[in-house]
Structure 1
Amino acid sequence: MNAAPAASSRAACFARDYPIRFSHCDPAGIVFFPQYLVLFNQLVEDWFNEGLGISYAHLLGPRRIGLPIVRLECDFRAIGRMGETLRFALAVERVGGKSLTLALEASGDGVLRVASRQVLVFTDLETHRAIALPEDVRAALAAGAPAA
């Protein structure tokens, strides 16, 4: 599988450094693979809050707009260890009418650990049906977000 081009090589990229903690690891002290998805979700939340300037909590809470992953690809290339700090990066590959396609990666010491491509769909949390991209999200994307 060929999950995603390197997010760090893309022009518009949002990136954050996250420490790998005990809670991310299995008994061998390496990142348990589903924890990368938790960390990628943390990156998406940070991107909304800091990069787009749109409160992720407000999006889900009062606005009742969900953003589930409907397609997910991951390539696990190298292990991550407890105590490391990895750079997590995100780039927008495609903006659709109701969805976003994101390329994400985690790397450390110049080594790509995980590459992922995710399709997220905006949904009404009452009906759980897809809805159009909110105008403020579309405007933030058009304004050049994500920002570093």
Structure 2
Amino acid sequence: MLQSSRVIQIEWGDCDPAGIVWYPRYFGMFDACTAGLFHKATGLRKSQLIAKYDFVGFPMVDTQAKFMIPSAFGDEIRIDTTITELGRSSFDILHKVMKGDQLAIEATEKRVWVGKHPDDPARIKSKPIPDEVVAALRG
């Protein structure tokens, strides 16, 4: 499967009073990395994907993370993102946060490709990932 990488400089605002990255900030980074993977695969930004394929997005329905090495203000990290499983309407993502050559965090996500619910547009419902998107993600 396709992989993308993103280098991030840890900013002051990413950190908690202890001076290390406040863990929810990583999940924002992971979300951006997932969108970046789709951009690399399709050439389309998330807003363009939504317009082209008439869907709402790909919300996370499950996540897990193992934190091994903390990062602090000024550190540089690299997040390697790949899809590990691709289903009809869902996909699993693996994010590996590298600090130098050391694995700092390993996180997994399950996300679902969703559109507006046909009976109630205020709700969402899973829908199949378009075949051309699947092909692009497979590389």
Q: Match for 1:83 among 55, 61, 74? A: 74
Structure-2 separation of matches of 1:14 and 1:93: 13
Are 1:30 and 2:20 counterparts?
Answer: yes
Q: Is the Cα–Cα contact under 8 Å of residues 6 and 79 in structure 2 kept in the other structure?
A: yes
Structure-2 separation of matches of 1:136 and 1:88: 26
Cα RMSD over matched residues?
1.7
Letter in 2 for 1:129: K
124-133 or 86-95, which deviates more: 124-133
What displacement does 1:60 show? 3.5
Structure-1 separation of matches of 2:86 and 2:2: 13
Pick 1 or 2: higher relative contact order, CA cutoff 8 A, min separation 6: 1
Are 1:129 and 2:119 counterparts?
Answer: no
TM-score, scaled relative to structure 2: 0.86
Pairs aligned (count):
133
Pick closer, same or farther for the CA change 1:86–1:140 going to 2, 3 Å.
Answer: same
Are 1:55 and 2:51 counterparts?
Answer: no
Match of 1:140?
Answer: 136
Match of 1:3?
Answer: none
The structure 1 segments of at least 4 consecutive aligned residues displaced by more than 6 Å after TM superposition are none
Structure-1 separation of matches of 2:105 and 2:44: 27
Pick closer, same or farther for the CA change 1:102–1:38 going to 2, 3 Å.
Answer: same
What displacement does 1:48 show? 1.6
Structure-2 separation of matches of 1:80 and 1:61: 36
Structure-2 separation of matches of 1:12 and 1:64: 22
Q: Give the share of equivalent positions with the same residue, in percent.
A: 23
The answer for unaligned runs of 5 or more in structure 2 is none
Are 1:114 and 2:110 counterparts?
Answer: no
Q: Is the Cα–Cα contact under 8 Å of residues 79 and 113 in structure 1 kept in the other structure?
A: yes
Structure 1, residues 40-89: CA drift from partner, whole Å, max 9, x if none?
11111222223432321123457333100111111111101110110001
Larger Rg: 2
Structure-2 separation of matches of 1:53 and 1:123: 20
Are 1:46 and 2:36 counterparts?
Answer: yes
Q: Match for 1:19 among 6, 9, 19? A: 9
